[in-house]
DNA sequence: AAAACATTTCGTAATATTGCGAAATAAATT
DNA sequence: AATTTATTTCGCAATATTACGAAATGTTTT
């Protein structure tokens, strides 16, 4: 047992959180869709995906909670985009991690 | 709905599987430990981690199932190492994915 | 053969994820 | 004001994850 009060480092926790956000194929696909065009309306994403809209909404929320995407309300639709800060941090942490060996 | 029979591409599924393997801080830490020394005995890993040995065993199994590590039985211990093929594939898929935007 | 050691499997509990359809919310259009 | 459109929240069910300690497995040492 390590002596630290915390079980894991902040980086380990963050890395795991980003990895978890990407741990379902549909969320990988959502990120790919958002990357391929600057932004995208929720409905347009739904048309490309084999899941119910309510289920998509949950996946979008997970990506948002992880800080990887952001949604802008432009009535009556919601425009989703990749969130730079989160995406860049995920990139940085994962790249570092993958380079280690 | 896409016309393809399969819901997701092979790459999306593989990427999600590797991401899932790394979606818990303790598994990130295990990979870091294994990367920092060529190989490691299960018991030595357990000494560094704040979880029960049976729990560690489950996490090791998940990493093994994902193809990221391999265990060699050198009685009475088991020596765990990073599995090159899997690790390299994860590296490749994730790097590609992260570069996309 | 018995004791010690290293690790896994089993049983179980608590919690999280994934999925859907129905209902709710909220804005735009008629 | 009523209808349409876009999306989310709710309620629920099925399954998966995470964790632990106890028991089992298999090897080495005594």
Per-residue model confidence as pLDDT tens digits over A47-71: 999 999 999 999 999 999 999 999 9
Tell me the CA–C1' distance in angstroms for A14 and C16.
Answer: 18
Between vectors from CA A24 to CA A19 and to CA A27, what angle results, nearest 5°?
90
Of B8, B24, B82, the CB nearest to A16: B24
Average pLDDT over residues B4-30: 93
What Cα–Cα distance (Å) separates residue B37 from each residue in A12, A23, B23?
18, 27, 22
B chain contacts of residue A35, beta-carbon cutoff 8 Å: 100-101
- Strand order in A69-74's β-sheet? A39-41, A77-82, A69-74
Here the tokens at position B60 are 């090791």
Check: CB of residue A92 under 8 Å from CB of residue A100.
no
pLDDT-derived band at A5 (thresholds 50, 70, 90) equals low
Average pLDDT over residues B21-39: 96
A chain contacts of residue B29, beta-carbon cutoff 8 Å: 8, 12
Interface touch B50/A1, C-beta < 8 Å:
yes
Of B26, B95, B100, the CB nearest to A98: B95
Check: CB of residue A33 under 8 Å from CB of residue B46.
no
pLDDT digits (tens, 9 = 90+) for B32-85: 999 998 889 999 999 999 999 999 999 999 999 999 999 998 888 999 999 999
Go through the domains of chain B in sequence order and give each one's CATH number: 10-99 (1.10.10.10)
B chain contacts of residue A20, beta-carbon cutoff 8 Å: 19-20, 23-24
């Amino acid at each position: 047992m390590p002596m630290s009060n915390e079980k894991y480092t902040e980086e380990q926790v963050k890395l795991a959180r980003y990895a978890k956000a990407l741990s379902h194929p549909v969320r990988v696909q959502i990120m790919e869709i958002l990357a391929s065009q600057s932004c995208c309306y929720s409905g347009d994403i739904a048309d490309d995906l084999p899941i119910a809209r309510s289920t998509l909404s949950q996946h979008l929320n997970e990506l948002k909670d992880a800080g990887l995407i952001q949604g802008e309300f432009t009535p009556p639709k919601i425009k989703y985009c990749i969130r730079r800060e989160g995406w860049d941090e995920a990139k940085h942490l994962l790249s570092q991690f993958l380079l280690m060996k």
